[in-house]
Chain A
Amino acid sequence: MFVSQSMTRKVITIDKEAGIFDAQEKFAEHRIRHLPVVDAENRLIGIVTDRDIRTAMPYSLFKDPTNQLEREKLSGLKIRDFMTVDPKTISPGYTIQDALLLIEQLRVGALPVTDEQGKLKGIISVRDLLRAFINVLGIGQPGTLVGILVEEKIGQMKKIVDAITEEDISFGSVLVARYWEKDKRAVFPYLLTQNVAPIKRKLKDMGYTLIDPMQWYLDQLPKYE
């Protein structure tokens, strides 16, 4: 779960002497929103986002992108004039969890990945993280979500995992979430099978309460700003 495994390696970059319309074309052509700016040695010197472009362009050009007069006025505008210099970066050895926290904290849509020499190795975007998250949840594979309410004490999880393993069922993922009742946890194994009725019965026989998935909402989780 390292940034190096989830990042996009073939980064579309731009030169600092390029014009604003070059950047605009690259965004549209590759359907991306971040363009790292590199020097001749592939060292990262800045970043441009599609938002920077929108901010730099007058409204009249949005209304009519072919407005020649306005285009000429802007043609002298270079990337170096409006790029973010020395942007925040992340190292390829960081984990996906680091990237999640950093991207959320910095309120950016992507982070360039650089090595110790400052050379660009890749870029990790919110989209890459989403892909990793889908992978972690296991929901790309066929399976069934089961919700189990457990007392918050040591050994509960083992019992559940053992019971499921005994039935020869594989796990896509297991999420553990806080529950609104004190001293309880909600456990959500995503089981890679259609045949869940027997394991549900078994868990009930073991004394567990199965949670109606509708009684559990993500917004029961603590929020932080």
Chain B
Amino acid sequence: MRRTGFLYDERYLLHDTGSYHPEVPERLLAVYKGIEEGNLLPELVRIKAETAERKWIELVHESGYIDRFGDACISNQRSFEHPDNQMCSETFDVAFLAVGGILKTADMVMQGELDNAFCAVRPPGHHAERDHPLGFCYFNNVAIAARYLQKKWGIGNVGIIDFDVHHGNGTQHIFEQDPTVFYYSIHQHPSFAYPGTGREFEYGTGSGHGFTKNNVVLPGQGDDVYTELIQEHLVVDFDRFKPEFILVSAGFDGHADDDMSDINLSTEWYTWMMETIMTMADRVAGGRVISVLEGGYCLQRLPELARNHVTTLLTGGK
């Protein structure tokens, strides 16, 4: 058994998106329930959130943007710059807690208290751009964690794996010129899915060229196509890139029962994916993996998906 951290905090439930929105607190409750019912809680190192220092968020986001977000929240706006980004008076603080919890988890891995961890946070992050919110995301949690690992802990190469069914436009844009952060995303083809970026021909720019990889999957496809692409691209690219730390943007919305996409992945596929990541992490990154929740909206499937995900973190790859 590995020492696996589990970041979960009831304050993450306070981010209220209203009655007509899929990114709801019940998602986190479903995740928690699945892990609890699998009797996994005693095996895990429980982590409570703390508020992030603003300077770490500013590694990624413009200061003016953070101010705008805070102002919108204080003035009780129901959405932030687009109807997709529903919020309440707590959202700003909760977003700081999401980032802060992840950075605390990163500290624990770097201090040797943990081997790896799963961060069940809200709001999600991978659509958030440097200077604007997008697609339910406000702060780019994973991007901030990557920069934090480099700045605070002197990590060189960071590998980000994003298997959310949507492309992480924010993460890609933040790192597209940076050869020290490899962003790999596999998602539904952008011509058929939000947000319409992450095309196969986007490889990064400038000195970051070759350090962004997008695998696109057509609607109706599932396990077979995903598995083949992961083996042919992700595994090969990361073996070559040799990240010292792997961050996972874990979205479960490509599941066949999730109506946010037209992709048909099985529950078993998600387990295989995580085993593959763990095997790779052992090979190149000393087993250091932090997985952060992004999308995944099927409340009936989230418990088993979260349970299997955490089980794989505990037991490692095959």
Chain A interfacial positions (CB closer than 8 Å to B): 139, 141-145, 167-169, 192-198, 200-201, 212-214
Contact = CB atoms under 8 A, between A and B. Distances in A.
A169 B21 CA distance: 13
Given A144-B193, A145-B191, A194-B195, A213 B83 contact: no
Interface in B116-165: 127, 134-136
B166 interface: yes
| Chain B, interface SS category | loop
Contact of A142 (B192, B196, B260, B297): B196
B196 A141 contact: yes
Interface of B: 20-22, 82-84, 127, 134-136, 166, 169, 191-197, 218-220, 259-260, 262, 297
Nearest to A167: B20
A143 B136 CA distance: 13
Contact of A169 (B83, B127, B135, B260): B83
A197 B22 contact: yes
B70 to A, nearest CB: 23
| Chain A, interface SS category | loop
A143 B191 CA distance: 9
A110 B194 CA distance: 34
A142 B194 contact: yes
A194 B194 contact: yes
B259 A214 contact: no
A213 B195 contact: no
Closest A-B pairs by Cβ, 3 of them: A142-B195, A194-B135, A194-B194
B83 A145 contact: no
Nearest to A147: B192
A184 to B, nearest CB: 20
A197 B297 contact: yes
B20 A198 contact: yes
Contact of B84 (A195, A197, A213): A195
> Residue among A139, A142, A167 with the most chain B CB within 10 A?
A142
Nearest to A145: B192
Given A196-B194, A197-B260, 6 more contacts: A141-B196, A144-B193, A195-B20, A195-B84, A198-B22, A213-B192
A197 B257 CA distance: 12
Contacts of A194: 84, 127, 135-136, 166, 194-195, 260
A195 B22 contact: yes
B83 A168 contact: yes
Contacts of B194: 142-144, 193-194, 196
